[in-house]
Structure 1
Amino acid sequence: MMGKGLFIAAGLAVSAGVVIAAEPPPIEQFIKRDTFTNIKISPDGRHYAATVPQGDDKTVLAVLDRQTLKITGLMQMRGKEHIAGFEWVSDERLVVTPMIRDGALAKPVPTGELYAVNADGSETRTLFSFRKGGGGLGSNIRSSGSEAASAHVLHYMPDRNNQILIQVVPWGSEAPINEVRRLNVRTGASTRVVRAPGPFADFVVDRQGNVRLSVGSTSAHVQKIHRRPVSGGDWVLIHDEAAAGFRLNVLGFEDDSRHVLVGRGQAQGADALYRWDIEDNTFSRISEPGVADPSGLLYGIEFGSPYAVISHPDRPVLHYLDPERRESRLTRSLAEAFPGQFAYPTSFTRDGSLALVHVISDRNPGEFYLFDLATMRATYIAGTREWIDPEKMATSRPISLKARDGTDLHGYLVIPAGVEARNLPLVVLPHGGPHGIRDYWMFDPESQLIASRGYAVLRLNFRGSGGYGRQFEVAGYRQWGGAMQDDVADAVRWAVAEGLADRGRVCIYGGSYGGYTALMNPARNPDMYKCAVGYVGVYDLPLMFQDGNVRRTQFGREYLGMVLSGSDLQDFSPVNHASRISIPVFLIHGAQDSQVPITHSERMRAALRKAGNDPQWLVERAEGHGFYTERARLGLYTQLLDFLDRHIGTRATASSP
């Protein structure tokens, strides 16, 4: 249930200076569930709705009266199920999406179902479900039947009473042909609007709710985009990546429903922002390519009307489509009011009088304010983790460096609060994925926990990461154990050369592909690290083609073929280089992991033992690809911090500068 202290009308308290506690914050402070995961204001401004975690096993939807802050409605799924997301589709009606914890993964995943509820908790209905008898809400709830498919909301159609557009993905095919349906959120009745022209296609809808674009790809991962007239009709191919020589990242339609904002791939470097006339199939450049790709849109008061494009070169950066537009001026004012943070409106009331503003930074896990556009005053609503004091958190410093072959690399160095960034013990934290994934400047609880113990944390977006242009991502293909590893090692050498890190106190820790790097990098650079921690890691690359759920789908097999085939899988497998890893190793895995089966860790453990290096070992029988429960994560981080302390921390002998 939502506590009385969740919503508080108060100003933001700012400490006079940094205070370093005699003892670091407890681990629980960093692994505790958020008080809420999202808040949205209703179109008429009368209500807030928020998703509120109830421990590990449930997340509920609570609706509050904005004036009294009293709960007017509550919705929860049956059993150990969560509400993942929600949207106001009218002043009184919400559509919600549930999620279930899959043992194979670290956290709950959406089920592909849709439900609706009124702000007062009444008229709950199953709109789309694969389960019979009301799905996850119980048999007494009205249901529209079951279907072997998944769905998500495409468009809310505010000018068409109770109507939304959904994208439906049928099950039972390795190459599904998706479709769009119009769905009544009161009755659950739906009608097909259009089917995709090919498999694996997503749809793009204009402001008026017309399905205009289908964005898909061939089995060889070649992008194909089709256009459809406003009045409906047949699909027409208007972009073929193979013929055009570039890929498009479709961000969304502008107000005229003819021009689309896209990130267009360049021969080198990040995507540039373009305006695409889909009728004439012509492009006009809006801005020159920067360090990072355009990644998303901010929408204004009018439904579906974008006013800014966001990118993440280091900290978030906005490109205003019309700098003098009301929402643009407001967002610039917010930047001045919250210096050093990213403050932006997430939603507006229909009349444009109120906006819900999200404020976040590398040190602030997230706060929401209600902004009155008439008085230009912001009222604090709530923080997602109010027990976190941003002034006592570590700073995430953007970094850039050259790899040994001249490639530009970017990332972040997390510096403990109140500590000079000089000769610090360093924990290298490579991200998972690896392709299309990247690290961001925003608050990262794991990095903050490690930094709270006095370590600097290196988070590098090595080649293969997303967000820096298609060529940068492709440069990591078939280089898992090659150039991608060189990038990480080059970043460590850079941090030491800059005097930021103590070369004698460096440890590497990562999960999934990051766990692979945590063992492969010490194998390639035996004198660089004092210890290594692999968490649900990939250690035997040929096994990726034989076991695990990645290879069980056509898409997964094509992915493995694209990013790994052609490389020397044996030589790129850490399990075959155990004799080169003489430092202390800690292996962590979930027994239920079907993404990267525990066999990987078992083989790595056996190889290290054979080489005379018996690793520390932690297995959670009920966890999957990453630990989810607070109990399991508390055990993981307790052992991890102890391991780091023994080898590069207070109990280790520091090297000479």
Structure 2
Amino acid sequence: MTQAPEVPLIERAKLFGNPVKSQGKISPDGRRLSWLAPHDGVMNLWLAPASDPADARPMTAEKARPISQYLWAADSHALLYVQDKEGDENFLLYRVDVESGADACLTPFENTRVVIVGTSVTKQDRLLVGLNNRDPQWHDVYELNLATGELAEIMRGDGFAGFLADDSLTLRIAVRPNAEGGMDFFRIEANEVAAEPFAATTLEDAMTTQPAGFTTDGATLYWIDSRGRNTAALIGEDMTTGARTVLAEDPRADIGHVLAHPATGVVEAYAVNYLIQEWIALDAGIGATLDRLKALLKGDIEISSRTRDDRKWTVAVDPVTGPPAVYLYDRDQDELDLFYVSRPELEHAPLVPMHAVEIPARDGLTLVSYLSLPYMADVKRGGIPDAPLPMVLLVHGGPWARDRHGYNPYHQWLANRAYAVLSVNFRGSTGFGKAFISAGDLEWGAKMHDDLIDAVQWAVGRGIAQADRVAIMGGSYGGYATLAGLTFTPDAFACGVDIVGPSNLETLLQTIPPYWKPVVEQFHRRMGNPETPEGLKLLRDRSPLHKADRIVRPLLIGQGANDPRVKRAESDQIAAAMSERNIPVTYVLFPDEGHGFARPENNIAFNAIAEEFLAANLGGRCEPAGETVAASTAQFLAQAR
């Protein structure tokens, strides 16, 4: 045993069950507080007067699937949220009246996915929404009257990837995919799209260049823009003269989040996330407030909501070694009051730091990565254990996404079970400039996988990991990486945990959701084009399914039956191929889930199964599963003996 026995097991339910509260916000008029919290065991919307947060009441009554996203209507009269059915990602928009509590669906259509196109601080009872109920590939733009529910069509979406509106809810820009794998940007005047684009990207800038919104007066358009540079800069464009001003850039990483004034829309601060996230102010007053909050709070901060007069904020803080919390901040009085701690039961738990590290790839690229170690394995907290440990390589999805520094329940869970945990931003990950993304083009299962192998060898070489006791685990692309690890490098890992991972890149591209059509050309150029002989060969060569006979290490698969991105067939295929060859596999299906496990009882159940699986193959600690699996909808379609 590599971890001292006196370190208590942190219960899975405390890490992955419902938080006490989450997503706390203040209404634009400052009169009310809102948040998500359990109601009859399911995450629902709650509301309370800002003057008396204890006088709270639930505003929704979801019975099975948790609400995961919501926002305030600009007039503060309603809360808006989206909800799908059993993970199908056909999100519909709902409105809850804060006075009456009336809860109504504003987009009552079947097989439809709503997107928010535009919000307004001056037309507070309206929204622009995109609906694909006419054609599942394209979102038509409608103006939605929040009070009456009336929808008025503004523009058809055929051929367009999206639209951008100003605060008057006037459509100003249309975005259309082009033959180079990028996007063309067209001006819109009087709901007529210009014949020629005023801006464009090719493939290399497609993921790092996009409009970031208008100022309220419509005079300035902000861009996050990598054209002419590697990392994306924050740029302001004068919509009358076309003059462009670079407001911020960083050679290490793309400009990420921006903080804009709630009334004027003027960007006042921006964030850069290389190893950790840093906020830099453009406005002196905002800079002073951010400095004050950094002095008062320990951890990474985010401004999660602001009143329209900008006098009161909700501030989320992530202490990494403690549960995230949200505070109420009165800027006039300089008063900071605790709103809530998301998981108070973890406040005194043996949580561990996350170490940001830079790992060299074999060809010289730098891989920003994050390492967590068991509580008593690294007494000096220097990032190197006293002795090498079994390790879990936890691979992020996307792949066009990234791992970040912060409180991570999976890192905390696995470290508590006596494993080193390493998450790697392999090439193709976002946030580190366009060259780093492009380095992953056509490299699924090749150089992208080499980066993961290089990271494991780095951990072994530094005395962090035991070479023969490393597991690979991840969801979506991370699930693909798991399957690639067990097929392309069959002796590199002791076992693998694949969650909603594609096994066959050819069928993956054949079955993506119809509303992803605007980015199909990007998929073809970055993964392989199935419409060409060489592209089809590449996709087949990089598909773990066709190398299933090479699997010699234990594999656990988790899948949602209703996944619209990585269809159930992706897991069915690899499990069947293994069974046909008498290769043991454990395959768990959740009939009421999609791309991941949203219901806590299902997530806890799968993690209980994974924990037993890892303990059997790596030798770590294990909390007994008890009744958690029986309390879920888990179905074992295959079970290794």
Please indicate the TM-score interval, normalised by the length of the shorter structure: 0.7 to 0.9
Residue 20 of structure 1: CA displacement?
8.9
Matched residue, 1:625: 595
Distance 2:500 2:598 in 1: 13
Distance 1:424 1:412 in 2: 16
Residue 462 of structure 1: CA displacement?
1.0
Distance 1:232 1:537 in 2: 41
The one-letter amino acid of 2:427's match is R
Residue 149 of structure 1: CA displacement?
7.0
The 8 Å contact of residues 204 and 213 in structure 1, kept in 2 or not, is answered as: yes
Q: Does 1:428 align with 2:393?
A: yes
The 8 Å contact of residues 196 and 214 in structure 1, kept in 2 or not, is answered as: no
1:122-201 to 2 correspondences below 5 Å: 122=101, 126-130=105-109, 150-152=114-116, 154-157=118-121, 159-160=122-123, 162-173=124-135, 175-176=137-138, 178-181=140-143, 183-189=144-150, 191=152, 199-201=160-162
TM superposition score normalised by structure 2: 0.84
Greater shift in the superposed pair: 501-510 or 219-228: 219-228
TM superposition score normalised by structure 1: 0.82
1:285-300 to 2 correspondences below 5 Å: 285-300=246-261
SS of corresponding position for 1:523: helix
SS of corresponding position for 2:354: strand
Q: Classify 1:579/1:228 alpha carbon distance in 2 versus 1 (closer, same or farther; 3 Å).
A: closer
The 8 Å contact of residues 181 and 202 in structure 2, kept in 1 or not, is answered as: no
Distance 1:564 1:282 in 2: 38
1:412-423 to 2 correspondences below 5 Å: 412-420=370-378, 421-422=384-385, 423=388
Q: Classify 1:452/1:266 alpha carbon distance in 2 versus 1 (closer, same or farther; 3 Å).
A: farther
Matched residue, 2:330: 372
Q: Classify 1:551/1:277 alpha carbon distance in 2 versus 1 (closer, same or farther; 3 Å).
A: closer
Greater shift in the superposed pair: 441-450 or 239-248: 239-248
Q: Does 1:357 align with 2:324?
A: no
The one-letter amino acid of 2:60's match is Q
Distance 1:180 1:598 in 2: 33
Distance 2:241 2:465 in 1: 54
1:146-545 to 2 correspondences below 5 Å: 150-152=114-116, 154-157=118-121, 159-160=122-123, 162-173=124-135, 175-176=137-138, 178-181=140-143, 183-189=144-150, 191=152, 199-206=160-167, 210-218=170-178, 221-228=181-188, 235=194, 237-242=197-202, 248-254=209-215, 257-266=218-227, 269-300=230-261, 302-322=263-283, 324=284, 326-339=285-298, 341-389=299-347, 392-420=350-378, 421-422=384-385, 423-434=388-399, 436-545=400-509
CA offsets per residue over residues 599-645 of structure 1, 9 Å max, x none? 43344334445666423443444444333333333332222122222
Q: Classify 1:591/1:187 alpha carbon distance in 2 versus 1 (closer, same or farther; 3 Å).
A: closer
CA offsets per residue over residues 409-445 of structure 1, 9 Å max, x none? 21211223343132222100111222x2221213222
Distance 2:152 2:586 in 1: 57
Greater shift in the superposed pair: 257-266 or 19-28: 19-28
The 8 Å contact of residues 137 and 515 in structure 2, kept in 1 or not, is answered as: no
Q: Classify 1:52/1:564 alpha carbon distance in 2 versus 1 (closer, same or farther; 3 Å).
A: same
Q: Classify 1:78/1:28 alpha carbon distance in 2 versus 1 (closer, same or farther; 3 Å).
A: closer
The one-letter amino acid of 1:417's match is Y
The one-letter amino acid of 1:150's match is V
Greater shift in the superposed pair: 166-175 or 439-448: 166-175
Q: Does 1:120 align with 2:90?
A: no
Matched residue, 1:97: 81
Distance 1:651 1:450 in 2: 9
The 8 Å contact of residues 330 and 336 in structure 2, kept in 1 or not, is answered as: yes
Matched residue, 1:34: 19
The one-letter amino acid of 2:177's match is S
The one-letter amino acid of 1:25's match is I
Matched residue, 2:585: 615
Q: Classify 1:390/1:277 alpha carbon distance in 2 versus 1 (closer, same or farther; 3 Å).
A: farther
The one-letter amino acid of 1:111's match is F
The one-letter amino acid of 1:431's match is H
The 8 Å contact of residues 390 and 465 in structure 2, kept in 1 or not, is answered as: yes
Residue 367 of structure 1: CA displacement?
1.0
CA offsets per residue over residues 368-404 of structure 1, 9 Å max, x none? 1111223322111112222222762222211212211
CA offsets per residue over residues 277-310 of structure 1, 9 Å max, x none? 3333343323343322112211336453321112
Greater shift in the superposed pair: 474-483 or 582-591: 582-591
Q: Does 1:64 align with 2:48?
A: yes
The one-letter amino acid of 1:39's match is G
The 8 Å contact of residues 103 and 622 in structure 1, kept in 2 or not, is answered as: yes
Distance 2:71 2:590 in 1: 36
The one-letter amino acid of 1:344's match is E
The one-letter amino acid of 2:502's match is V
Residue 483 of structure 1: CA displacement?
0.9
Residue 649 of structure 1: CA displacement?
2.4
The 8 Å contact of residues 116 and 185 in structure 1, kept in 2 or not, is answered as: no
Q: Classify 1:180/1:514 alpha carbon distance in 2 versus 1 (closer, same or farther; 3 Å).
A: same
Q: Classify 1:364/1:307 alpha carbon distance in 2 versus 1 (closer, same or farther; 3 Å).
A: farther
The 8 Å contact of residues 39 and 61 in structure 2, kept in 1 or not, is answered as: no
Matched residue, 2:381: none
Q: Does 1:648 align with 2:608?
A: no
Distance 2:66 2:604 in 1: 22
The 8 Å contact of residues 48 and 65 in structure 1, kept in 2 or not, is answered as: yes
The 8 Å contact of residues 136 and 514 in structure 2, kept in 1 or not, is answered as: no
Residue 534 of structure 1: CA displacement?
2.0
CA offsets per residue over residues 63-114 of structure 1, 9 Å max, x none? 212223354664325764654444333565014123033355xxxx462324
1:596 to 551, 566, 580: 566
Distance 2:131 2:179 in 1: 17
SS of corresponding position for 1:327: helix
The number of equivalent residue pairs is 603
The one-letter amino acid of 2:416's match is S
Q: What percentage of residue pairs aligned between the two structures are identical?
A: 25
Gaps of 5+ in 1: 1-18, 132-146, 653-657
Distance 1:20 1:48 in 2: 43
The 8 Å contact of residues 363 and 390 in structure 1, kept in 2 or not, is answered as: no
CA offsets per residue over residues 164-187 of structure 1, 9 Å max, x none? 231223323255263252x44333
The 8 Å contact of residues 10 and 349 in structure 2, kept in 1 or not, is answered as: no
The 8 Å contact of residues 182 and 522 in structure 2, kept in 1 or not, is answered as: no
The 8 Å contact of residues 369 and 382 in structure 1, kept in 2 or not, is answered as: yes
Greater shift in the superposed pair: 612-621 or 31-40: 612-621
Q: Does 1:573 align with 2:535?
A: no
Matched residue, 2:636: none
Gaps of 5+ in 2: 379-383, 530-534, 623-641
Distance 2:503 2:166 in 1: 42
The 8 Å contact of residues 37 and 53 in structure 1, kept in 2 or not, is answered as: no
Instruction: Kindly report the root-mean-square deviation, in angstroms, between the aligned alpha carbons of the 2 structures.
Output: 3.4
Residue 509 of structure 1: CA displacement?
1.2
1:639 to 603, 606, 609: 609
The one-letter amino acid of 1:120's match is E
